[in-house]
Amino acid sequence: MKVLPAIAVGLIALTATGPAFSWGSTGHQLVGQTAYNNLAGTTAKGRVDALLKKGHAPSLAAAAEWPDCVRSVKVVAKPKRHLAYVPDQYTPAICVHFSNPKENPKGVAMMIDYAQRNWDQCDKPKSESRACHALYHFADIPVAAGRYDTKLPGAPDYDIVATIDACIKILKGEAVAKPFDQIKDYEALFLLAHLMGDLHQPLHVGAIYLDGATEKTPTTEADAERLSTQGGNKIFVGKAKLHAMWDGVDGAIPAVQLKVNKQAVDASALAGTPADWASESVKLAGEALHPANVSFAPGTGGVWTMTAPAKYNGDFVGPHQLSQVAKGGARLAAVLKQIWP
């Protein structure tokens, strides 16, 4: 589909965690801010500052949310088919930095331009959620595999790991293949900051595949599509979506930042590659989906109910959220320092 940029007026500045996002706005900002705090006195800080200015982002924390802001770029039918920025209840409030014409006159046009250049290179999208730039945010590796592997279903050539690797190359000034050849340098920074957060949300990398109440390990993409639980978005614990439960890093940014700062990240954890870190998330996703005495019950409308221990959220999800956000920020800083030593 060929679409032309058009600016939609208005903004619904609501903080919400939609089904397609990870960590929520708080978590992504924490990853960006944690990384930036670790760049003081480095060459990387100067290069990051220059790209933030180029992309009209007030901070790396805000830039880390930009790719989710772009997901409010949608197909509008009238007066003719085109892309427009149409925020809704899932649009993070921080997107105002990129959509307020007084603060950032070119911000909406820049988001639409990026979305247009990264719209249909991956497949032919039937909806905004299948636009190429939206597919950069995740992988769906079967947790039964216990590791990330590009040969497994759920790891297309444009998945989260492939996109992170491409962003690193772009920031190094190296050539990249399609579909990533349309990404600009400041966009690569914003994407990298965001995806390093997504990479550490376990349900953005590992997935369980269910046939009724039985877990299956798909061997083909067709099987994966048929058995998909959409990263836990189709699994409910009580009235809460499992994916949303993991997204929900709650609290004011300064207060949660102090808690994140207390999560020690061992120097050895900074070694490895994005694929190695994805494997960690697949393993953690396996633990998240297999608490003690877990069972899955299929319901109507293609969803499942998951039983979980009474204190599953507070005793398991919450502590892992903090440690994963801390790891994401520390590793983002390490990657930026490697790009610009």
Q: pLDDT confidence of 125, banded at 50, 70, 90?
A: low
Q: pLDDT confidence of 126, banded at 50, 70, 90?
A: low
The torsion angles phi and psi of 231, rounded to 5 degrees, stand at: 60, 30
* Rounded distance between C-alpha atoms, residue 338 and residue 300, angstroms: 49
Domain-wise residue ranges, the chain:
24-64+131-339
* Rounded distance between C-alpha atoms, residue 31 and residue 140, angstroms: 22
Rounded to 10 degrees, what is the CA torsion of 229, 232, 234, 235?
A: 110
* Residue showing tokens 């390490």: 334
- CATH topology for the 24-64+131-339 domain: P1 Nuclease (1.10.575)
pLDDT at 11: 24
Mean pLDDT of the chain: 90
* Rounded distance between C-alpha atoms, residue 131 and residue 176, angstroms: 19
Q: Point out the least confidently predicted range of 3-7, 255-259, 288-292, 315-319.
A: 3-7
Per-residue pLDDT of 14-40, as tens digits, reads 233 333 445 788 999 999 999 999 999
* Rounded distance between C-alpha atoms, residue 133 and residue 117, angstroms: 9
Q: Would you say 246 and 200 are in contact if contact means Cβ atoms under 8 Å apart?
A: no
* Token pair recorded at residue 313: 């959220």
Per-residue pLDDT of 176-186, as tens digits, reads 999 999 999 99
* Rounded distance between C-alpha atoms, residue 206 and residue 139, angstroms: 7
pLDDT at 22: 53
More confident residue, 249 or 189: 189
pLDDT score of 3 more than 90? no
pLDDT score of 285 more than 90? yes
pLDDT at 252: 82
pLDDT at 325: 96
pLDDT at 15: 30
Q: Would you say 112 and 83 are in contact if contact means Cβ atoms under 8 Å apart?
A: yes
Q: Would you say 95 and 65 are in contact if contact means Cβ atoms under 8 Å apart?
A: yes
Q: Would you say 172 and 190 are in contact if contact means Cβ atoms under 8 Å apart?
A: no
